[in-house]
Amino acid sequence: MKRLLSALTVLVSLCAGALAGAAPATAGVLDVTCTPPSSNLNSYTPPLTGTTRTVTVSTTALYGPCTSLSQPAITSGSRTASFTITASCLDLLDPGTVTYTITWNTGQSSTITSSYTSAVAGAVLTVVATGTVTSGLFAGDSVVTNFTGPATDITLCTLGLGSVSSVYTLGTLEITSV
């Protein structure tokens, strides 16, 4: 029994020494977090079908409630855009890169470039993006977004049984210093 206690004491001492000598992990500071009901709405005119055609996309994202230790006045943000693409509903699940500008409730803005992936599992669409704030408030910080929403229209469209007039998702936005 004495040997077992001695062995355990040595083992605990070695583990404690290894942990004490380990370099601390360097983690960035979370500059801003926006949680649901943060949302993104993409509307397609005319609606996307299984056939590739020219479509106008109108997008509106509303971020909030948001919290920021470094910028405590930030409580929300938004972005809007309208552009033309040539696409079908089959393209909704393709990965891509996007650049957009969030205007915060303080009047400040952050321009972000992100790479995103989309997936449908069951009846849920998940869109995950990672990127960087390229200019404005929080320039140089990393950005992660994770949004989910119903995928019924997308699934039906990809099966040739319908169209997609809009995609609505809810999720989170995190901007972290590096």
- pLDDT tens figures, 161-171: 999 999 999 99
Could you give the CA distance from residue 97 to residue 130 in angstroms, rounded to a whole number?
A: 10
Mean pLDDT of 100-114: 97
pTM metric for this prediction: 0.81
Distance in angstroms between the alpha carbons of the first and the last residue of the chain = 50
Mean pLDDT of 93-115: 96
Mean pLDDT of 25-30: 68
Question: In whole angstroms, what separates CA 110 from the centre of its chain?
Answer: 15
Structural domain spans, the chain: 25-176
Structure tokens that stand for 101 in this block: 């500008």
Residue 56 has φ and ψ, to the nearest 5°, of -95, 130
Token pair 């009047």 is at which residue? 107
Q: What are the pLDDT digits (tens) for 53-88?
A: 999 999 999 999 999 999 999 999 999 999 999 999
